[in-house]
Structure 1
Amino acid sequence: MNSPAEVAKNYLSIGKGKSNTPIPNMFLLAFMAGAFIAFGGISSTTAAVSIPLASVAKLVGAMIFPGGLAMVLIAGSELFTGNNLIIIPVLNKDTTAGKCLMNWLVVWLGNLVGGVAVAGLCVASGQVSLFNGALATSVISTAVGKCSLSFGQAFLRGIGCNFLVCIAVWMSFAAKDVVGKIAAIYLPITIFVLCGFEHSVANMYYISAGLFCKANETFAAAATEAGVDMTNLTVGNFFGANLLPVTLGNIVGGAIFVGCIYWFCYIKGKNVHAE
């Protein structure tokens, strides 16, 4: 197992490498990560939807979702929230702020395309019609809830989420084998989902899937019959009321509360640099 100081030192090279990845590769790897997280999202909802006790359903879904991040880390891809840690080599002058921001932009967009693509696949294939359409109603209800948060709520939940996600990524770098990496991410990711914190990349799937279901007359009618008010579920709220504040919160939670603190504690003044 790598110590926290060793993880910090190793991430200097990892983050520098991420910031220097050619943009086409960066985008394609980000597409993969968006898809991986989306598959984690739909499997989580599918597992939880038919459980009547809400707290148990939430726990079951939270226990399934980490599979998405496991695919991101083990299969190889680029995830915006995890890449907020690139602030570490930036602070250490091993890469530039411009390269970091470019990575965040390209990866965010690639994650968006991957998440929306899987959402479209799930709705077009009829996967969300499982359990007599109850899954589609749940998908719509989840999206409505995310689009109904205030800016402040979404921002703060974004901070809580990416604090835990980046801690999970950090812990995975402490492990030296696949089993250890999966075990390391499992509890922090389960905790963030169970608490209802907001993950920008997951929401790229969750809300777009809700929008696709809303556009389907059968799914929309079922949701209305179930008492779901879809007024707030719009493309404008997708980006303005959710993705914007959640993304900003994710940056604060990951880059500042994890990246900056660990750089200060383990790297600042140590005269270590990326290899």
Structure 2
Amino acid sequence: MNTPAETAARFLAVGREKVLLPVGRMACLAVMAGFFIGLAGVGASTAAASVPPAAARLVSACVFPAGLVMVTLTGAELFTGNCLLAIPWLSRAVTARQVLRSWIVVYLGNFVGAVLAAAAAVYSHQLASFSGALAASAMSTAVAKCSLSVSDAFLRGVVCNILVCVAVWLALSSRSVPGKVLGIYLPVMLFVVSGFEHSVANMYYVPVALLAKDLPAYAGVLEGIDGSCLTWGRFLIGNLLPVTLGNMVGGLAVGMVQWYCFLRGKTDRAEKK
């Protein structure tokens, strides 16, 4: 296992490789990451719908980390983890323009991938599982997310991405696959069971309900749920935007602290030489 200082130095190289990816390859890896997170949402929702409500969030938290595991081990590009690109930027290994290009391409790719996963679940009628209980659960989850105040969504986004970036950091610090999986699993499980907000996960959880709510196949099980707050505008502006900004603040905070603690002095000495 790498020490924190070794992990910080390693992320300099990893971060530079990330921002220098050709746009086409970067976009492809981003779509893949969004799809993986969406599939984790499918699995977590399905598992949670099959148990009593009191245990649902814990069961969901046990399944959802599979998404970040798949992202990490396949080399896919996830926006929330890439907030750690603050580390190579502060070390002057990459430029602000390169970081912004990466964030924009990866964010849009993640959105496409997550919505594709949502569409796959809706149009394959996977949501009809458990006599429609899964569709009702998906709708209730989306309504709860879109009912959050802007401040709640932002603050939950901050804490969420602190945990996600810690998970990415722990995975990078390990030299074995089991170590990476364990490093990812615990922080991600913690953010899910606590109800914090992850922008890319929400790119699945809300669109899946938006796509399903007007389909005749799900009308019977959804008629008792008030989905009036579920619109694309409400989702994008009222939920996704503040959650994304919160994720950025949380991720940048982790990156800045790690850079300050483990790289700042080394960077200064290297510049003096």
**Range into which the TM-score falls when normalised by the shorter chain:** over 0.9
Pick aligned residue for 2:242 from 231, 240, 245: 245
- Deviations 1:203-248 (Å, cap 9, x if unpaired)? 00111101011121342442222xx210111000110011100000
Return 212-221 or 34-43, whichever deviates more. 212-221
The one-letter code sitting in structure 1 at the alignment partner of 2:12 is: L
1:230 paired to 2:227: yes
Query: Residue 263 of structure 2 aligns with which residue?
Result: 267
Shift of 1:259: 0.3
- Cα distance in 2 for partners of 1:151, 1:221 equals 32
- Cα distance in 2 for partners of 1:44, 1:59 equals 10
- Cα distance in 1 for partners of 2:139, 2:231 equals 11
Query: Residue 103 of structure 2 aligns with which residue?
Result: 104
Q: Give the total of aligned pairs.
A: 269
- Cα distance in 1 for partners of 2:28, 2:81 equals 16
Query: Residue 127 of structure 1 aligns with which residue?
Result: 126
1:190 paired to 2:197: no
| Divergent runs of 4+, >2 A | none
Query: Residue 38 of structure 2 aligns with which residue?
Result: 38
1:76 paired to 2:75: yes
1:3 paired to 2:22: no
- Cα distance in 1 for partners of 2:214, 2:98 equals 38
- Cα distance in 2 for partners of 1:53, 1:35 equals 27
- Cα distance in 1 for partners of 2:53, 2:45 equals 14
- Cα distance in 2 for partners of 1:49, 1:169 equals 28
CA RMSD in angstroms, aligned pairs only:
1.1
The one-letter code sitting in structure 2 at the alignment partner of 1:255 is: L
* Structure 2, unaligned runs of 5 or more: none
Query: Residue 146 of structure 1 aligns with which residue?
Result: 145
Could you state the TM-score of these two structures normalised by the residue count of structure 1? 0.96
Query: Residue 89 of structure 2 aligns with which residue?
Result: 90
The one-letter code sitting in structure 2 at the alignment partner of 1:22 is: P
SS in 2 for 1:115: helix
Shift of 1:114: 0.2
Could you state the TM-score of these two structures normalised by the residue count of structure 2? 0.96
SS in 2 for 1:78: coil
Query: Residue 163 of structure 1 aligns with which residue?
Result: 162
- Deviations 1:34-69 (Å, cap 9, x if unpaired)? 000001111001001121242x11101100000000
SS in 2 for 1:155: helix
SS in 1 for 2:2: coil
Shift of 1:7: 0.4
- Cα distance in 2 for partners of 1:24, 1:138 equals 36
The one-letter code sitting in structure 1 at the alignment partner of 2:48 is: A
- Deviations 1:184-221 (Å, cap 9, x if unpaired)? 11110000000000000000011110101112134244
- Deviations 1:82-105 (Å, cap 9, x if unpaired)? 000001000110000111011001
Shift of 1:30: 0.2
- Deviations 1:153-180 (Å, cap 9, x if unpaired)? 0000000100000000000011101111
- Cα distance in 2 for partners of 1:146, 1:84 equals 23
Shift of 1:141: 0.9
* Structure 1, unaligned runs of 5 or more: none
- Cα distance in 1 for partners of 2:28, 2:95 equals 22
- Cα distance in 1 for partners of 2:32, 2:12 equals 24
- Cα distance in 2 for partners of 1:159, 1:123 equals 30
- Cα distance in 1 for partners of 2:157, 2:195 equals 10
The one-letter code sitting in structure 2 at the alignment partner of 1:264 is: Y
